[in-house]
Amino acid sequence: MMYTISNAEQELQAKREALNVRWYPRYHLAARAGWMNDPNGLVWFDGWYHAFYQHHPYSTEWGPMHWGHARSKDLVHWEHLPVALAPEGPEDKDGCFSGSAVVNGDTLALIYTGHKFHGDPGDEANLYQVQCLATSRDGIHFERQGIVVETPAGMHHFRDPKVWREGDVWYMIVGARDGDTGQVRLYRSADLRQWHDAGVLDEAEKEMGYMWECPDFFTLNGKRVLMFSPQGLAANGYQNRNLFQSGYLLGEWQPGQAFVREGGFVEMDHGHDFYAPQSFLTPDGRRIVIGWLDMWESPLPEKQDGWAGMLSLPRELSLSADNRLQMRPAKEVEGMRGAWFPWPVTTVKNQQIVMMENGGALEVILHWDCANSSAEQYGLRFGDGLRVYVDAQMQRLVLERHYPQFGLCGMRSVPLTEGKALTLRLFFDSSSVEVFVNDGEACLSSRIYPDADRRDLALFAWSGSAVLTEAGAWQLE
């Protein structure tokens, strides 16, 4: 099959008409139709935020990757643009894999992985991944510039370039697999075209993963943050419960020197569905991150509706006083707020109280007075399939989803400090929930699949009472 941008556009136009929108997001970015995974090329260019993403327009299964494309003035209202890249050259004939975007003068440059097999695709020895360049003056139509970094000798998994500039020098990091060791490789360039190998920035030690995907490298509060998605971490208690994780290492680095870690790998999101986050800078200097709101090898019931996958809300990153990465919804998200519905409840005791009959696109605010709450479990229920609650015996905040008809059941949780007040911001969309804990201390993101007539929101407390100091919901427009 010939993969071209025009063929992809024709396919998307035809499939868009047949979409079932029961779970299609109201305010998250999803593809017009077909498959979506990693966000790519997040950037501000010529007055617009641009979001590219891994995209298969021809089906709801992962397939030969294209780059989907949308733009926004405010990070929440997105306009779909034509597919930016299709696997139509010898360097990327089996897929235009993940990458990044930078602004170089009046030009928008995409740096991405060309995925190709030399021979039988069933044999990994035939796999080659190279880094490629495409450029645009208008931010919509891209001219392919070919390969700029070849596969290192003896390596096959070598992908997801992230490019940034310091002074007069461009830097690129690339995720790689050396045998069964995940690593991040570093390159430098003066012009985005001629790249020089600068060695290995960091690599896995024992049990830190066989492949480090989607690396990102940036500075917060004077600290360097190496953000990546390791494959192959073993589950350990409450940690690393998903197939793959996303997280970060903190450290010190200066050009020409080694990256020196400070502490171990820390997960960024503790829900069921968050992967391959990528960061970018806003014009006013905020570091924003967006991730894929799904997980590999997890059921995606929306496939039967003609689409699959979506991106998370934009989240502003900061570093706490004790050097913990924090994520909060970007301030632009508040621009979606419509009517405010206060919930006139101060105490819930051995009961369940329905607060809204039909929870649509909502931001729910809950302030729990944990010090004066005696219940063993208390929190919020959404329809038949989701509960977000405090388990006082475990001293954890639990997100529990229960959709056995789709094979999606299980819990994720984060620790709580006993007696400390608990502030929650919960964002509900048609098929997702994102829970922000204590103004950035933790986040849990999961896909949910409620029936259209079972979207009621209820507060509950069992085996005792729970005290609220504030509760209510914003309708999101």
**φ/ψ of residue 333, rounded to 5:** -60, -30
Cβ atoms within 10 A of the Cβ of 12, count? 21
Compute the residue count for the chain.
477
Whether 38 is catalytic is: yes
- d(CA 75, CA 175) in angstroms, rounded, equals 27
What are the C-alpha distances in Å from 266 to residues 84, 227, 443? 34, 9, 13
**Rg of the chain in Å (alpha carbons):** 22
Question: Across-strand partners of 140?
Answer: none
Question: Which own/partner pairs from 207-210 qualify as long-range (CB within 8 Å, at least 24 positions apart)?
Answer: 207/233, 207/234, 208/182, 208/233, 208/265, 209/182, 209/233, 210/177, 210/180, 210/181, 210/182
Residue with the two structure tokens 């006082």: 392
Cα–chain-centroid distance for residue 344? 35
The overall longest dimension of the chain from CA atoms, in Å, is 67
Triad 113, 117, 123: Cα angle to 5°: 125
> 221 — alpha (psi -120 to 50), left (phi > 0) or beta?
left
Token pair 């998250």: residue:
28
**93, exposed or middle or buried, with CB in 10 Å at 0-12, 13-18, 19+?**
middle
Question: Which pair of tokens denotes residue 118?
Answer: 């030399």
Tokens of 456: 């009621």
Which of the residues 38, 305, 391, 429 is marked catalytic? 38
The amino acid sitting at 312 is S
Report DSSP state, residue 240: S
Which strand (E) or helix (H) includes residue 9? Answer: helix 5-16
Annotated catalytic residues are: 38
